[in-house]
Amino acid sequence: MKEAEVIDRLRRIATHPGARDLRDDAAVLDGLVITHDSVAEGVHFFSTDPPASVGWKLVAVNLSDLAAKGAKPVAALLSFSLSDMDWDFGVIDGIEAACESYGVSLIGGDTIALLPDAPRVYGLTAIGRAAAKVPSRSGGSAGDGLWVAGSLGDSAAGLAQLIEDAAASGPMVDIYRRPIPLLEMGRALAGHATAMMDISDGLLVDLARLCSASGCAAEIDLDSLPLSSAFVAERGQDRTARLFAATGGDDYALLAAFPAEFDPVSLSLPRAPTLACIGRLVAGSGLMLHDRDGGVPLPERLGYEHRASSASVDDRL
């Protein structure tokens, strides 16, 4: 069963307006933005990863959802699976470091003990204070420009290195293990964006979700995708490399739509990350890609989608 099929069934239950019809990454309730994400061993992290990086990533991926709504993090609830003491305390060290870095207070949660040899699973509910405007995925219109804050492909390249060599290290492995939520950038952009979300499963699959929610299609210039110097040194920047960056996932960059006449670069923005226009929303449905050499066929795989028959870290590539 696919993730989308489960979400469609859950919509029968999620009738509160704050649920946004489950078409967004977060709920909005009484001035708060609330989101929940989990990380599972073998799906989101390796058993050979440093446990502190697992704890950091758990917090960071949730805060990335708050960033995409322009919310200021306030508190979190933790679901923690007990393992061995050294590993558990290492994970907690990472959670503590991330919470301290981003001003998040842990206010409760739950602990459980799993069966022997069961994969470790951790969950976090992050709560943020909403700004005056909380952009959704569904507000985009034909003609809006599409912008990405942050770089694409680094995390997927780091994951590929770890799959090849569990002892791999370097900047892209670090980005895969310890993503940085773009909270300041999110707050700067949210009040002006017609639609916004974070890129967690891959630019193309997440853009397809934004287009579906907004009732639009998208045209994307692959040559405009923001790539880091580390990625280019490792993978290059030809069409193959750019399609890899567009589908790899775990970027935790921000994808935003703005009215055609609005230039977000004119805002007072943080010095980092980069902000790049990658295309525009158009009438219709689906995605259309091109680069300097002309039209580019859509890859068979747009990004990562959870499904019952496919649940391993390797399947993220």
pLDDT in tens, 117-149: 899 999 999 999 999 999 999 999 999 999 999
CATH of the domain at 211: 3.90.650.10
Whether 267 has a pLDDT exceeding 80, the answer reads: yes
Q: What is the pLDDT of residue 313?
A: 63
Find all residues with CB under 8 Å of 102, minimum gap 6, and list them.
59, 63, 73, 181, 183
Percentage with pLDDT > 70 across the chain: 96
Is residue 52 helix, strand or coil?
A: helix
Percentage with pLDDT > 90 across the chain: 85
Residue whose pair of structure tokens reads 């069966």 in the numeric block: 115
Q: What is the pLDDT of residue 3?
A: 79
Cβ proximity of 167 and 46 under 8 Å = no
Residues 183 and 281 in one domain: yes
Residues 183 and 107 in one domain: no
Residues 305 and 276 in one domain: yes
- Asked if residue 279 is part of any domain, the answer here is yes
Domain stops at, among 129, 158, 191: 129
Q: How far apart are the first and last CA of the chain?
A: 19
- pLDDT band for 22, please (50, 70, 90 cuts): confident
Q: What is the pLDDT of residue 219?
A: 98
Distance CA 72, CA 77 (A): 16
Q: What is the pLDDT of residue 317?
A: 62
Q: What is the pLDDT of residue 304?
A: 83
Residues 161 and 82 in one domain: no
Range of the domain at 113: 3-129
- Asked if residue 138 is part of any domain, the answer here is no
| Among candidate residues 185, 43, 67, the one with its CA nearest the CA of residue 128 | 67
Whether 310 has a pLDDT exceeding 60, the answer reads: no
Cβ proximity of 172 and 311 under 8 Å = no
What number is the average pLDDT over the span 19-35?
A: 92
Contacts 24+ apart (CB under 8 A), 81-88: 81/111, 81/112, 81/113, 81/114, 81/118, 81/120, 81/121, 81/122, 82/111, 82/112, 82/113, 82/114, 83/114, 83/120, 86/51, 87/51, 87/120, 88/51
Please state the domain count of the chain: 2
Q: What is the pLDDT of residue 23?
A: 84
Q: What is the pLDDT of residue 316?
A: 59
Residues 177 and 105 in one domain: no
Whether 1 has a pLDDT exceeding 80, the answer reads: no
Residue 168 has which token pair?
Answer: 């791999």
Residues 168 and 312 in one domain: yes
Q: What is the pLDDT of residue 25?
A: 87
Find all residues with CB under 8 Å of 160, minimum gap 6, and list them.
317
Domain stops at, among 129, 163, 195: 129
- Asked if residue 222 is part of any domain, the answer here is yes
Residues 121 and 156 in one domain: no
Domain stops at, among 129, 154, 178: 129
Whether 312 has a pLDDT exceeding 90, the answer reads: no
Query: pLDDT averaged over the chain?
Result: 94
Q: What is the pLDDT of residue 315?
A: 65
| Among candidate residues 191, 178, 12, 186, the one with its CA nearest the CA of residue 97 | 178
